[in-house]
Amino acid sequence: MSALPRADELGVIGCHVCSLVCRDTGMEHARCPRCHSSLHRRKKATYSRTWALLIAAFIFYIPANLLPIMRTVSVGDVDDNTILSGVVELWVKGSPDLAVIVFTASIVVPMLKFLALVTLLWSSHRSSGWARRQRAKLYRLVELIGYWSMLDVFVVALLTALVQFGLLSLVEPLPGVVFFGLTVVLTMFASMSFDPRLIWDGKESDD
Amino acid sequence: MTDDTKPGNADLPEPVVHRPRINASFVWLIPVLAALVGLSLVINAWMQAGPTITISFQSAEGLDPGKTPVKYKNVVIGRVTSVRLSKDRSHVTAKVSLEKSAEGFATEDTRFWVVRPRIGLGGVSGIDTLLSGAFIGADVGESKQPEDEFTGLEAPPAVTHGAPGKTFVLHTDDLGSLDIGSPVYYRRIQVGRVVTYQLDPNGKAVSLQIWVDAPNDQFVTKTSRFWNASGVDVSVGADGVKVNTQSLASVLAGGVAFQEPMGPHETAPADESAAFNLFHDQATAMAPPDGEPKYIRMRFDQSLRGLKVDAPVEFLGIPFGRVVSVNLDFDEKTQKFPVTVGAVVYPQRLGRAHEKLVALAKARGDDAQLSQMMGTLIGQGLRAQARSGNLLTGQLYISLDFVPKAPKAAYDPSVKPLEIPTVPGSFDKLQEQMADIVDKIQKIPFDSIGRNLDQTLGELHRTLKQVNGDVLPEFKTTLQSAQQTMGTANNALSPDSPLQQNLGGTLQELQRSARSLRVLTDYLGSHPDALLRGRKADPAPAPPAATQQGSKP
């Protein structure tokens, strides 16, 4: 794969925002002369940032699952639900399709994101040449589905706003949903702070 | 560096340098912050977590794991975390995690019960749980001994801990319609309720615990009388029918009432947990104390149809006790079936009579036992009788009475129980006398009386025939001749009969004689000398009749 030269080898550097190609002077804190956004060959401190955000997201993910996210009050019957108990309730009460959707959006997707990011970080750190193209695809997938993890938060926000019938029926958000939202936001930041070009760095051992 | 080695980049623009204010490593603040938040949550949860206790209930009705709260004074102090069936499936155990602030509830004498909507005859409670679902109520005691296994009450305790008031113990034969929570009335005001009840260890009586709220607990004095105020008390007296009840609720659900007795009595409030007797009705409760019951036995030789257990035993008309058993016996010697009647009597009910008898017995040197006194009384003719209390229903009661000319009865004061000799009852006597009368009537020879009467009647018949045949015709002729005689008399007296005419002539003659006599007397009156000289010649022609008349008489 040495046929394709890298920008590094050519001594140039591209601006991420305005795509201006500059000379790589190797200076610290270089900025694009046109749009003044920061220039770097690889995202700066990408490993530490991603790790930090990922760990923070994971820490928040624990209370997000343990604490109830929503309280539904219907005719005096108070019901606090965590994400998982909500899924179970939906399944038991005869809406398995909805249960699957919520389960996927709230449990599977965040977990997959954690796993994917950890895999990417780990393999890139070790400059592994294993399945680089698939890893690149995985990264794009993680970026794509990131927004959809906010489904739960949207549901709670909508229900809280709409279901306000006093004694008859009431929906209140509980602290769990805040932690869940933080998790989603932090994973999104983590995936953003990861530089996919790292996948391609390292030894050209795969060919 | 590289730009020297890589030519052809010289026309590319050079980046400018601008130092950022913050260091990249600040990013690690985020996970640290997250960790701090997480840690604070954990610490918070750990700080709030109180002890976990298990409560066993008969049923898990209304208990919802994760939802059912435990409340004390309507403040949530914990939550049911799980509900499980016990190993022997006889009850359920609910795991409850108490809050840190409710640590004091995990002590020995804390009571837990499930608050559900309850609708009873005495009232409605727990309505709010209809909507919110059941919760577990708690009542903490005073113990400091930690405990984590509890047995839940099936009904809310009637008394919460620390409430001002007093508990009292009532003893009774049977519970009646009382239940936990049944009201306690004082002058028809509810002042307390029944807390618990249980059988005595020997199973022969029931002990009730009642609670009387302050300040009304001061009205329970040492001499207070308690009675079962359940139901309706209907009494028929000389002044009509009286219906007596405490309240409509107590009619249906039962209740206890108390009052101090009439007359002088102690007014000091009763102590906590003081024991009282619970009487069946107000009349017995307010009656003077019965004292110690004595058991007596009587043997009756006649049928005692109508004598029931609980029939009264009266001594000279005073209620003295009641019948407790009526049993048939068999006497081998006489081949008879006597009836043995057992009764309990309360000598103290005789009041002053009893006191005097006791005093007398003591003065005589006898012991004041009932058996001794009874011996004396029986010597004086005291006998038991089964008397008819109600002729319509034929109910009998036992009457202890002095029977004059009673046959001597053997009495052994040492026999236990005391045996009272009996005489047949008044009704039995009446029956006997009736039988006697019937016997006598039967002895009258109605047959021969009838025959004689028949003969007499035949004779009478013959006599009458004779009268008809012989006497009557003669009588007829006699009457006829009598009629003739009367006719003759009639004829003789008729106006045109010669007798009448003769009589008329005679009377006219007499009239004329009388007239001439008057003329004579008149002449003599004016001419008295005529008697001597005779009558002068009249210048005027004198009626000749005058001379005739004068000569006549």
Three-state SS at B343: strand
Q: How many CB atoms lie within 10 A of CB B339?
A: 19
Per-residue pLDDT tens for B277-335? 888 877 777 777 677 788 888 888 887 787 888 888 888 888 888 888 888 888 888 88
Q: Where are the domains of chain A?
A: 1-41, 45-200
Asked if A75's CB is within 8 angstroms of B27's CB, the reply is: no
Q: How far is Cα B186 from Cα B194, in angstroms, rounded to an integer?
A: 14
Per-residue pLDDT tens for B358-379? 787 777 766 656 677 777 788 8
Task: Name the band, by pLDDT with cuts 50, 70 and 90, for residue B437.
Answer: very high
Q: What is the DSSP letter of B177?
A: T
Nearest CA in chain B to A20: B13
Which of B194, B262, B205 has the alpha carbon at shortest distance from B230?
B194
Greater confidence, B125 or B190? B190
- pLDDT for B542 beyond 70: no
**Candidate from A35-44, B14-23, B58-67 with smallest mean pLDDT:** B14-23
pLDDT of residue B512: 94
Q: Which of B26, B30, B129 to mutate to test the interface with A (most CBs of A within 10 A)?
A: B30
Asked if B132's CB is within 8 angstroms of A76's CB, the reply is: yes
Rg (CA), chain B: 61
**Nearest neighbour of B25 by CB, restricted to A21, A48, A60:** A48
Q: What is the mean pLDDT of residues B513-539?
A: 84
Nearest CA in chain A to B23: A45
Whether A197 contacts A41, CB under 8 Å: no
Q: What is the mean pLDDT of residues B529-543?
A: 72
* 1.20.5, 1.10.760, 1.10.287, 1.20.140: CATH of A45-200: 1.20.140
**Nearest neighbour of B20 by CB, restricted to A29, A60, A63:** A29
Asked if B34's CB is within 8 angstroms of A60's CB, the reply is: yes
Nearest CA in chain B to A55: B31
Of A33-42, A135-144, B350-359, the range with the highest mean pLDDT is A135-144
pLDDT of residue B121: 61
- pLDDT for B524 beyond 70: yes
Give B-chain residues touching A55 at CB under 8 angstroms: 31, 34
Cis preceding linkage at B215, omega within 30:
yes
Q: Where are the beta strands (DSSP E) in B173-303?
A: 183-186, 189-199, 206-213, 225-228, 233-237, 240-244, 256-259, 275-279, 294-300
- pLDDT for B2 beyond 60: no
Task: Name the band, by pLDDT with cuts 50, 70 and 90, for residue A150.
Answer: confident
Task: Name the band, by pLDDT with cuts 50, 70 and 90, for residue B478.
Answer: very high
Q: How far is Cα A161 from Cα A173, in angstroms, rounded to an integer?
A: 10
Distance from CA of B2 to the nearest CA of A (A): 6
Token pair recorded at residue B65: 């794991």
pLDDT of residue B458: 93
Token pair recorded at residue A33: 């002369």
Instruction: Determine the residue type at B13.
Output: P
First to last CA, chain B: 232
In terms of pTM, does the model score above 0.95?
A: no
Per-residue pLDDT tens for B3-23? 444 455 667 777 777 766 666
Residue whose token pair is 């499980």: B84
B25 in A contact zone (CB under 8 Å): yes
Task: Name the band, by pLDDT with cuts 50, 70 and 90, for residue A197.
Answer: confident
Q: What is the DSSP letter of B451?
A: H
Sign of the alpha-carbon torsion through A198, A199, A205, B4: negative
Q: What is the mean pLDDT of residues B160-171?
A: 83
pLDDT of residue B486: 92
Q: Are strands A70-74 and A169-173 parallel, antiparallel or unpaired?
A: antiparallel
**Nearest neighbour of B12 by CB, restricted to A12, A45, A59:** A12
Q: Which H or E run contains B70? A: strand B69-72
Q: What is the mean pLDDT of residues A28-41?
A: 79
Nearest CA in chain A to B37: A60
**ipTM surpassing 0.95:** no
